[in-house]
Amino acid sequence: MLYCRPCISVYCSLVITYFPLTLLVCRVMEQGGFGSPAFFLLLAISLASVLFLATLSKARSGRRRLPPGPLSLPVIGHLHLLRPPVHQTLYRLATRHGPIFTLRLGSALCVIASSPDLARELFKTHDTAISNRPQTAAARHFAYDAAGFAFAPYGPYWRFVKRLCMSELLGPRTVDLLRPVRRVELLDLLRAVLDKSARREPVDMSSEIIKMTNNEVTRMAASTTSSGAGGETEEARELVKQVAELVGAFNIADYIGFCKNLDLQGLGKRVREVHRRFDALMERIIRGKEEKRRRRKEMGCGGEDEVKDLLDILLDVAEDDGAEMKLSRENIKGFILDIFTAGSDSSAATIEWGLAELINHPKALEKVREEIDRVVGKDRLVEETDLPNLPYLQAVMKETMRLHPAAPIAHRQTTKDIRVGGYDIPADTVLMVNLWAIGRDPSYWEDPLKFRPERFMSDAAAVDVRGQHFQILPFGSGRRGCPGMVLAMQVVSVTVAAMVQSFEWEVVGGEAVGEGRVDMEEKEGMVAARQHPLLLVPVARLDPFPALA
Q: What pLDDT digit, counting tens, does each position of 3-44 carry?
A: 343 344 333 444 344 444 444 444 544 555 545 555 555 555
Q: Is a pLDDT exceeding 80 seen at residue 379?
A: yes
DSSP-based three-state secondary structure for 278: helix
Question: For residues 516 and 40, what is the distance between their CA atoms, to the nearest angstrom?
Answer: 83
Q: What pLDDT digit, counting tens, does each position of 481-515 carry?
A: 998 899 999 999 999 999 999 999 999 864 445 55
Q: Is a pLDDT exceeding 90 seen at residue 396?
A: yes
What percent of the chain has a predicted confidence (pLDDT) above 90?
60
The answer to whether 259 is annotated as binding is no
Return the pLDDT at 460: 75
Q: Is a pLDDT exceeding 60 seen at residue 221?
A: yes
Pairing mode of beta strands 409-413, 430-434: antiparallel
| Bridge partner list, 367 | none
Q: Read off the pLDDT of each residue in 421-449 and give the average, rounded to a whole number.
A: 96
Return the pLDDT at 18: 42
∠414-418-422 over CA atoms, to 5°? 130
Return the pLDDT at 13: 40
Residue 222 banded pLDDT, cuts 50, 70, 90: confident
Of 165, 211, 150, 175, nearest to 412 (Cα)?
A: 150
Q: Helices 310-319 & 267-298, crossing angle to 10 degrees?
A: 80
Q: Is a pLDDT exceeding 50 seen at residue 228?
A: no
Q: Helices 205-222 & 310-319, crossing angle to 10 degrees?
A: 30
CATH class as words, domain 137-540: mainly alpha
Residue 347 banded pLDDT, cuts 50, 70, 90: very high
∠497-502-504 over CA atoms, to 5°? 100
CB-CB contact of 309 with 182 (8 Å): no
Q: Is a pLDDT exceeding 70 seen at residue 421?
A: yes
Return the pLDDT at 229: 41
CB-CB contact of 150 with 342 (8 Å): yes
Top-confidence residue, 63 or 124: 124
CA distances for 52 relative to 46, 55, 109, 232, 315, angstroms: 10, 5, 28, 68, 64
Q: Read off the pLDDT of each residue in 392-410 and give the average, rounded to a whole number.
A: 97
Torsion of CA 516, 518, 519, 520, to 10 degrees: -120
| Bridge partner list, 411 | 432
CA distances for 446 relative to 114, 120, 450, 459, 465, angstroms: 17, 20, 9, 11, 18
Residue 208 banded pLDDT, cuts 50, 70, 90: very high
Q: What pLDDT digit, counting tens, does each position of 94-104 carry?
A: 999 999 999 99
Sheet holding 409-413, edge to edge: 100-105, 108-113, 430-434, 409-413
Top-confidence residue, 459 or 169: 169
Q: Is a pLDDT exceeding 70 seen at residue 60?
A: no
Helices (H) and strands (E) in the chain — how many of each?
17, 11
CA distances for 474 relative to 111, 115, 350, 469, angstroms: 20, 14, 10, 11
Torsion of CA 303, 307, 313, 315, to 10 degrees: -70
Residue 244 banded pLDDT, cuts 50, 70, 90: confident
Give the contacts of 413 (CB within 8 A, at least 6 positions apart): 130, 132, 133, 134, 428, 429, 430, 431
CB-CB contact of 112 with 93 (8 Å): yes
Top-confidence residue, 233 or 335: 335
Residue 302 banded pLDDT, cuts 50, 70, 90: low
Is cis: bond before 544, omega within 30 of 0?
A: yes
DSSP-based three-state secondary structure for 68: coil
Residue 462 banded pLDDT, cuts 50, 70, 90: confident
Question: For residues 501 and 495, what is the distance between their CA atoms, to the nearest angstrom?
Answer: 10
What percent of the chain has a predicted confidence (pLDDT) above 70?
84
Top-confidence residue, 114 or 305: 114
Sheet holding 203-204, edge to edge: 203-204, 535-540, 503-507
DSSP-based three-state secondary structure for 414: coil
Top-confidence residue, 341 or 435: 435
Q: Is a pLDDT exceeding 80 seen at residue 123?
A: yes
Average pLDDT value for the chain: 85
Q: Is a pLDDT exceeding 90 seen at residue 78?
A: yes
Q: What pLDDT digit, counting tens, does each position of 349-360 carry?
A: 999 999 999 999
